[in-house]
Structure 1
């Protein structure tokens, strides 16, 4: 399996035409850029969110150009400390134009199954998937590009179902 870097995956935001959608299934993300800010937050210290600026600029460019960026975050309740922190920082993502919804894991229909071994994925324009892969400690290894119509179609169907039952960020009260 060939993986692309996060930077290469982010280049997909420059070439998609209409809708990018991210499904997040993990209760913790060990992203190196977030280690310091997350630790500061845990200690109750002021947090420097400047590490987010490149992402937020990318989102502003995409959504400012008329494109849509959506996410559904499926989370366990009660939340892990990471998800508590992520909920707070989501305001920054929303201000940059992302539309984010939350779905408590216990509200996921029992009959629902997640393709791609339960990995997170980005879906671009209902034609291309960037599937996230992680090591045993939760660190991002990279993304696998998948364009097989059957797999993409299953993810489109799942996206639509989840979007309809997930709770908009402004309404989700952990």
Structure 2
């Protein structure tokens, strides 16, 4: 029986994985704040009360529509502290186009996951056979990505996600606190 492998991947390899999966992508987010070079300027606009046409998000929305048309599912669960951080309030405000494009986004207050065993890092699980762990610095900036095919990692991530998902609130029903 194979023990699986672990490898670091580049951003471009990660982007390709998010395009090439066959059936399903599940994504668990557990941090209250993130920061990417793409997002930070748009979050600053939001914080200043300035409009954002969300054009920068359209590439991901096109990918989501392609996945949906091909019968592939994309689900994201966000474990959040309440009241929401500024980042999560902004994230909530821009989630509509992604949901409309086919991503099922759900929210769960952190207090509801106390009894769920969660991996130490956010992750994507692709086709129930490849985990991509996302690594972050304390300020929320990404520091790298690691893939794993280790069966125990896959099982932990699948079980954690499904336990969170069972309690999570669909985006259209979640009311930010």
Q: Same fold per TM (> 0.5)?
A: yes
Q: CA deviation at 1:111?
A: 2.5
Q: Does 1:138 align with 2:143?
A: no
Q: Could you say which structure has the higher helix fraction?
A: 1
Q: CA deviation at 1:134?
A: 1.3
For the residue of structure 1 that corresponds to 2:64, the secondary structure is helix
Matches within 5 A, 1:1-174: 2-108=7-113, 110-115=114-119, 118-174=120-176
- Name the Cα RMSD after superposition: 1.4
In 1, the alpha carbon distance for the partners of 2:48 and 2:161 equals: 36
In 2, the alpha carbon distance for the partners of 1:2 and 1:154 equals: 18
Q: More displaced, 77-86 or 155-164?
A: 155-164
In 1, the alpha carbon distance for the partners of 2:140 and 2:7 equals: 19
For the residue of structure 2 that corresponds to 1:32, the secondary structure is coil
In 1, the alpha carbon distance for the partners of 2:44 and 2:18 equals: 29
User: Runs ≥4 in structure 1, deviation > 6 angstroms?
Assistant: none
Contact 1:37 1:48 in 2 (8 A): no
Contact 1:13 1:62 in 2 (8 A): no
TM superposition score normalised by structure 2: 0.91
**Runs of 5+ consecutive residues of structure 1 not aligned to the other structure:** none
Structure 1 match to 2:3: none
- Deviation track 1:132-173 (CA, whole Å, cap 9, x = no partner) reads 011233211221000001110121111211111111111101
Contact 1:23 1:121 in 2 (8 A): yes
Q: CA deviation at 1:5?
A: 2.7
For the residue of structure 2 that corresponds to 1:11, the secondary structure is helix
Q: CA deviation at 1:96?
A: 1.2
Contact 2:7 2:148 in 1 (8 A): no
In 1, the alpha carbon distance for the partners of 2:38 and 2:26 equals: 22
Number of aligned positions between the proteins? 171
TM superposition score normalised by structure 1: 0.92
